[in-house]
Structure 1
Amino acid sequence: MKHATLSRFASLAASAALALSLAACGSTSRSTYSAAVSNDTAAFSSQDAGDYEYYSAESAAAGEGSSFSSDDLTSSMLDPSTVESSRKIVYNASVRMETTDYDTTRAALQEAVTAANGYLESTDQGGSKDSGSRYTYYTARIPAENYRSFLTAAGEAGNVTSLNESAQDITAEYVDVEARLKALNDQRDRLNALADKAETTADLLEIESQLSDVQYQLESYTGQMRLMDNQVRYSTVDISLQEVQVLTPTATTFGEKFVEAVTSGWRGFVDGAEDLILVVVYLWPVVLIVLAILLVARPALKRRKARRAEKKQAKLAAKAAAVQAQPAEPAKPDDTVK
């Protein structure tokens, strides 16, 4: 009996020892995997930091933080053919034009866009042909290599009254996004490798969550990269075309300015006279009504004026008669006569 009891206790002790051993093994395996993930993540972060520093140094070597002088802004910088190919420059321009031949100038601008292998991003037209006040607003996207030639062709299509240009260097921002994309791609590859080694469902779900975050960032930075590439490849040119009767003067010498002043003064006088005549013509119904009222009211006004004059004369006559009707006062005796 005593031997049987000892055997039962020995079996229970062995079972408990086996259970504890299995639990310890599972815990050790879990801890080992978690440590592997942590170490790999730490190693990845360290490598990412190294990659980022490398790309940042490359950015600095490419000219990060550099600036252009005012001479460059008005000369070579605004010509993409004179800029280093490693730079990422965004060119924009705003052109104001006027023309007396609206249809011809508009067609010439569209041909210039086509010849430069560009396209019209937006078009806005309005105004009246009868009044000669038509206008068109274009937003053209022109390949950077044809930017300068397009502006020259557009300037020859009409009379340019103003031209504003800008050049934005986005090299540093571009290299930064490029480095982040490389780092995120490396992180995705590492996470995929860890997912192949995952032993439990919980570990796999954790890796998939991290992969989802990485994929979201990859798509965001990829969109930014595509946008910057498009801005660099295609310059944006805003064009404002206005139909006018007379072009804006562009004289430079005193003689030319004097002639234009005389011509502009006479033109202003003629335009004012024409406007006055047009106002009278536009208001002819009102003018006729006013004339009719004056014709009808004039006799009545004359009669009223005559009656007022008669009343005034009657009052004066009555006053004079009253004065004459008053008796003369007797003379007072002179006290000095005795």
Structure 2
Amino acid sequence: MKKRLSRLAAALLAAALLAGCGGSSAANSSAATYDMNLSQEAAVAEGGGESSLMPEDVSTGENAQQKIIYRADMTLESTDFDTARDALLAAVEDTGSWMEYSHLSGTAEDRDRYANYTVRVPVEHYQDFLTQAGQAGSMLSLNESAENVTSTYIDMEARISSLENQRDRLNELAAKAETTADLLEIESQLSDVQYQLESYTQQLRNLDGQVTYSTVDVTLREVSSLTPTGVTFPQRLADAFAGGWNGFLLFIQGLILALVYLWPLLLIAVVAFVIIRMLVRRHRKNHPLPPKGSRPAPAQYTAPAPTQSEEDSSKPKYL
């Protein structure tokens, strides 16, 4: 029994070593191909060629194809929200894209609608979608990023290849197992390998989906007047005049709307003002004020009559 277990352990160790060597050779071969591609890109850059980050510049060879994830964030505004949204949805349909996320808020009456879209675009139509979607409204901003995940992709492929070799070898050992204990040990190892294989396969599929379909986040806002986008001083000056006039019109419109919304309070204030004024007039009528030019006569002073002692003291005394 111990000899069988020893032989089984030696066989498992040999299978792991063989699979590791196979995976390492595959990874080294893929890494060499990747380094060669990077050298080619550097040569193109030195020769004045176009950027190798664009989808159309990616090599078409199966081993030389770069794995790049493209992302973009676009902000648009429009005075005609419905037309801009229809143009944006048309761009999604024309480029074979699909809508991953959509959110709409605001109302047409208040002219404050706001839309958020996340669009998955085929990588070969990435630039076409950005161009067509950018024409749907006035573009305020456009941010792009490109992430090269070729090394990660190659590493996952190598791991998957190594795990597949381990799985095949374990299946062969399971077929030759002589005891139940040996079979259970092999099946335990096989279950662990199968779990790792499924995990890496799923990660590779997700990565491949991000490479195949670029992600573009689009924000569309409804505005009463477009944000100035002039570059030169005359354009900025003209935009400033136009923006000032539009701001004045918006202020007048807002003031009128505020008065309309507050008409019950204004009516109550007018009625209260009329009542208070009537009460003040009635009070003044009942209690009139003296004329401004007339003054009351000053009170005359009357000296008191002298007493007897005062009269005696006032008479002259004779000797």
TM-score range, shorter chain: 0.7 to 0.9
Contact 1:89 1:171 in 2 (8 A): yes
Residue 82, structure 1, aligned to residue 61, structure 2: no
Judged with a 3 Å threshold, the aligned counterparts in structure 2 of structure 1 residues 291 and 42 are, in CA distance, closer, same or farther, namely same
Correspondence 1:170-209 to 2 at 5 A: 170-209=149-188
User: Which runs of 5 or more residues in structure 2 are unaligned?
Assistant: 307-319
Q: Distance in 2 between matches of 1:327 and 1:306?
A: 41
Alpha-carbon distance, 1:188 to partner:
0.8
Paired amino acid for 2:82 = D
Identity %, equivalent residues = 44
Which residue in the other structure is 1:169 paired with? Answer: 148
Which deviates more from structure 2 when the two are superposed, residues 245-254 or residues 288-297?
245-254
Distance 2:164 2:9 in 1: 19
SS in 2 for 1:276: helix
Question: Match of 1:260?
Answer: 239
How big is the shift at 1:307? 8.1
Question: What letter matches 1:176 in structure 2?
Answer: D
Q: CA deviation at 1:300?
A: 2.6
Amino acid at match of 1:76: S
Does the 8 Å contact 1:78/1:166 carry over to 2?
A: no
Residue 268 (structure 2) aligned to one of 281, 286, 289 = 289
Opposite residue 33 of structure 1, the aligned amino acid is R
Q: 1:110 and 1:228 mapped to 2: Cα distance?
A: 26
Cα deviation 1:70-98 (Å, max 9, x = unaligned): x9xxx735521123352111111111111
Q: Which amino acid aligns with 2:90?
A: E
1:1-338 → structure 2 map (5 Å cutoff): 30-61=1-32, 62-63=34-35, 76-85=51-60, 86-302=65-281, 321=299, 327=303
Kindly state the Cα deviation for residue 244 of structure 1 after the two structures are TM-superposed: 1.9
Could you say what secondary structure the match of 1:123 adopts? strand
Taking a change above 3 Å as real, the CA distance of residues 303 and 63 of structure 1, as seen in their structure-2 partners, is: farther
Distance in structure 1 (CA, Å) of the matches to 2:137 and 2:87 = 9
Which stretch shows the higher mean deviation, 98-107 or 184-193? Answer: 98-107
State the Cα deviation string for residues 27-53 of structure 1 (Å, max 9, x = none): xxx223212222122222322332343
Once the two structures are overlaid, the 10-residue window that deviates more, 194-203 or 104-113, is: 104-113
In structure 1, what residue type is equivalent to 2:275? Answer: V
The structural deviation recorded for 1:167 is 0.8
Normalising by structure 2, report the TM-score.
0.81
Distance (whole Å) between structure 2 residues aligned to residue 109 and residue 203 of structure 1: 63
Query: How many Å separate the matches in 2 of 1:329 and 1:191?
Result: 146
Shift of 1:101: 2.3
Deviation at 1:138, TM superposition (A): 1.4
Cα deviation code 1:92-122 (max 9, x no counterpart): 1111111222222222222211221111112
- Aligned pair count reads 290
Deviation at 1:165, TM superposition (A): 0.8
Equivalent-residue separation in structure 2 for 1:96 and 1:155 (angstroms) = 9
Change beyond 3 A, Cα 1:246–1:37: same
8 A Cα contact 2:79 2:222, kept in partner: yes
Does structure 1 conserve the Cα–Cα contact (< 8 Å) formed by 2:228 and 2:240?
no
Q: Distance in 2 between matches of 1:329 and 1:274?
A: 84
Larger radius of gyration: 1
Question: 1:114 & 1:237 partners in 2: Cα distance?
Answer: 14
Q: Structure 2 CA distance, aligned partners of 1:50 and 1:204?
A: 25
Please give the alpha-carbon distance, in whole angstroms, between the structure 2 residues aligned to 1:251 and 1:48.
63
* Whole-angstrom CA distance in 1 between matches of 2:152 and 2:20: 17
Q: How big is the alpha-carbon RMSD for the aligned residues of Structure 1 and Structure 2?
A: 3.1
**Cα distance change, pair 184–297 in 1 and its aligned pair in 2 (3 A):** same
Deviates more, 1:301-310 or 1:170-179: 301-310
The aligned amino acid for 1:215 is: Q
Contact 1:79 1:147 in 2 (8 A): no
One-letter identity of the residue aligned with 2:79: T
Where does the alignment leave 5 or more consecutive residues of structure 1 unmatched?
1-29, 331-338
